[in-house]
Amino acid sequence: MRDAFGQPQRIVVLGGTSELALAVLHAMALDRVQCIVLAGRNEDALARAQAALLGAGAAAVQIVHLEATAPERASEVIAACVEAAGGQVDLVLVAVGMLGSQGDFDDDPAATAEAITVNLTWPAAALAALRPRLVAQGYGRVVVFSSVAGVRVRRANATYGATKAGLDGFALGYAESVRDAGVVVQVVRPGFVATKMTTGLTPPPMSTTPEVVAKIVVEAMAGTDLVVYAPRVLRPVFSIFKLLPQAVWRKLPG
């Protein structure tokens, strides 16, 4: 159960090696957490994350195998995660995703399809599999990692941006569908975050770090804001970006 401060006891992370999700966990009061379930693919990275979380005070960390290219098996993964968490889940972090480089996607139908599967189809299927469980338990919080890249899609990361636009829209609608059941959904839109996903890329202005995003997400989790920008300044910035004529948008750096 969660406490009066919204502190969860049982957490499931979909995308358990995501630097953002792990930074969020480490920014929380881990000594108050009874069980964390990390669902992911890379076993070494999962084991490292598990050790770090245990070292930081989490009472128990379980690992569940997740293959995001196989959305038809998303419901099995969800069932395994919920069971590992002890039947009830206070918080779900949805952080499955890949960035990729646009040059590799442009002329490659298979790579394009796979990016959409991993970033959009799998998370959406997983959320659908979670929905009846969350509704039945009558409370809970889901934090979906979207991106500003989906707020207005640009040439430089069109495929990634499109998957995030899709997931973002899906999550917003999903939020409404579980609201009456007492379930809170929050969509986080980070800007450019310097992580392993972005090594090799030149950080644009207003880029940020996982720690900054984590702090903002943890603060947001004390409330019910539907959309959370990190850093916060990106909210006004993107409200303007959305209105720019395409000719201007095309020429913006970064």
Partner 1 sequence: MAEPIPRRLSGWGRTQSVRAEVVAPTTAAEVASWLSDPKIHGGVIARGLGRSYGDPAQVAGGLVLDLVHLNHLGPIGEGGSITVGGGASLDALISSVLPKGYFTPVSPGTRQVSIGGAIAADIHGKNHHREGSFCSHVTSMTLATPTGIMTVSPTSNPELFWATAGGMGLTGVVLEATISLLEVPSGLVTVDTDRFEDLDALMAEMVGGDDRYRYSVAWVDCMAPGARLGRSVLTRGDHAPSGLTDGSVGPLPKPAKLAVPFQAPSGLLNRASITAFNEAFYRRAPKHKVGELQRLSSFFHPLDGVANWNLLYGNRGFLQYQFVVPDHAAETVRLVIDHLSGAKIPGFLAVLKRFGPGDPGPLSFPMAGWTLAIDVPIGPPSLPRLLDRLDDLVAEAGGRIYLAKDARLRPELVEVMYPELDRFRKVKAEVDPNGVLTSDLARRLNLVEGTR
Q: Is-contact 225 209, C-beta < 8 A?
A: no
Nearer to partner 1, 9 or 147 (CB): 9
Told to check if 80 binds partner 1 by CB under 8 A, we report no
> Where do we find the tokens 């300044």?
233
Q: What is the DSSP letter of 90?
A: S
Told to check if 75 binds partner 1 by CB under 8 A, we report no
Q: How far is the CB of 1 from partner 1 (least distance, A)?
A: 4
Told to check if 131 binds partner 1 by CB under 8 A, we report no
Q: Give the one residue of 55, 109, 138, 245 binding partner 1; rule: CB under 8 A.
A: 138
User: SS3 sequence, 179-236?
Assistant: HCCCEEEEEEEECCECCHHHCCCCCCCCCECHHHHHHHHHHHCCCCCCEEEECCCHHH
Told to check if 2 binds partner 1 by CB under 8 A, we report yes
Told to check if 1 binds partner 1 by CB under 8 A, we report yes
Query: Which among 139, 160, 174, 229 is annotated as catalytic?
Result: 160
Told to check if 29 binds partner 1 by CB under 8 A, we report yes
Nearer to partner 1, 37 or 124 (CB): 37
Q: How far is CA 251 from CA 4, 107, 158, 169, 187, in A?
A: 48, 23, 15, 26, 28
Q: Is-contact 41 97, C-beta < 8 A?
A: no
Q: Give the one residue of 173, 223, 236, 254 binding partner 1; rule: CB under 8 A.
A: 223
**Secondary structure percentages of the chain, helix, strand, coil, to 5:** 50, 15, 35
Q: What is the DSSP letter of 148?
A: G
- With CB under 8 A as the contact rule, which of the stretches 36-44, 91-99, 149-157, 180-188 interacts with partner 1? 180-188
Told to check if 139 binds partner 1 by CB under 8 A, we report yes
Give residues 160-179 in contact with partner 1 (rule: CB under 8 A): none
Nearest to 139 by CA among 88, 183, 178: 183
Q: What is the DSSP letter of 57?
A: T
Nearer to partner 1, 110 or 136 (CB): 136
Nearer to partner 1, 24 or 125 (CB): 24
- Token pair belonging to 111: 């790579």
Q: Give the one residue of 75, 101, 102, 137 binding partner 1; rule: CB under 8 A.
A: 137
| 160 flagged as catalytic | yes
At residue 20, φ and ψ (nearest 5 deg) are: -65, -50
Nearer to partner 1, 204 or 223 (CB): 223
Element (H, E) at 49: helix 43-55
Number of residues that bind partner 1 (CB under 8 A): 22
Told to check if 132 binds partner 1 by CB under 8 A, we report no
Which active-site residues does the annotation give? 160
- Applying CB under 8 A, the residues found at the interface with partner 1 are 1-5, 7, 9, 29, 32, 34, 86-88, 136-139, 180-182, 222-223
